[in-house]
């Protein structure tokens, strides 16, 4: 009979993940699960243009990632590595966005709560609580509906 982990071992593994952040494999698995959201986000942020520059040069790539956002994601998942300017690459940028969302909205990632994810992406760690991010969420919601209709 195979050994099954105890509840204590499972809890320890969960807390280890929370404290140490996800691996690139964890991030990539979440990327696949978040594909509809990531596609809508790219359309709203840059119309899917990897070379997009916005916010007076402060935001780069298809997801319009700021350097502080990138640093948060790298701190949470150092295994991603790279440099800030690498967010101009779609796959790299997606790992950054997902690592950031796993850091600040892990329950929303698991639940595929697109609204919370959009508002955190737009407004920071507590963006989902800010009225200022509601308009942004509506843009994402329309992009999601448009992609579903295809």
Average pLDDT over residues 70-89: 97
pTM: 0.85
**Region label for 61, one of left (φ > 0), alpha (ψ between -120 and 50) or beta (otherwise):** left
Average pLDDT over residues 75-80: 96
Q: Give residue 147's pLDDT.
A: 82
Which comes out higher in pLDDT, residue 15 or 43?
A: 43
63 with 44: CB under 8 angstroms?
no
115 with 130: CB under 8 angstroms?
no
Average pLDDT over residues 39-61: 97
Q: How many CB atoms lie within 10 A of CB 48?
A: 14
Structure tokens given for 46: 């840059």
The model's confidence at residue 113, banded by pLDDT at 50, 70 and 90, is very high
Secondary structure E strands in 50-142: 53-54, 59-60, 65-66
For 73-97, b/e burial (b = at least 16 CB within 10 A) is bbebbeebeeebebbbeeebbbbbb
- Is 50 exceeded by the pLDDT of residue 95? yes
Question: Scanning the structure block, which residue is given the tokens 């760690």?
Answer: 125
Which comes out higher in pLDDT, residue 1 or 78?
A: 78
137 with 115: CB under 8 angstroms?
yes
Average pLDDT over residues 59-72: 98
Average pLDDT over residues 127-133: 95
Average pLDDT over residues 76-92: 97
Is residue 66 classed as helix, strand or coil in its secondary structure?
A: strand
Distance between CA atoms of 108 and 83, rounded to whole angstroms? 27
- Is 50 exceeded by the pLDDT of residue 1? no
Mean pLDDT of the chain: 90
CA 111 to chain centre: 13
Q: Give residue 7's pLDDT.
A: 60
């Amino acid at each position: 009979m195979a050994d099954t982990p105890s509840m204590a071992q499972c809890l320890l593994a969960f807390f280890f993940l929370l404290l140490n952040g996800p691996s690139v494999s964890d991030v990539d698995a979440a990327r696949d699960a978040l594909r509809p959201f990531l596609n809508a986000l790219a359309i709203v942020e840059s119309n899917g243009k990897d070379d997009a520059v916005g916010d007076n040069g402060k935001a780069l790539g298809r997801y319009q990632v700021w350097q502080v956002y990138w640093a948060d994601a790298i701190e949470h998942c150092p295994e991603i590595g790279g440099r800030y300017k690498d967010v101009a690459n779609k796959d790299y940028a997606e790992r950054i966005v997902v690592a950031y969302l796993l850091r600040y909205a892990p329950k929303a990632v698991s639940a595929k709560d697109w609204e919370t994810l959009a508002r955190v992406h737009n407004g920071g760690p507590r963006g989902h609580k800010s009225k200022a991010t509601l308009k942004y969420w509506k843009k994402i919601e329309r992009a999601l509906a448009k992609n579903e209709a295809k």
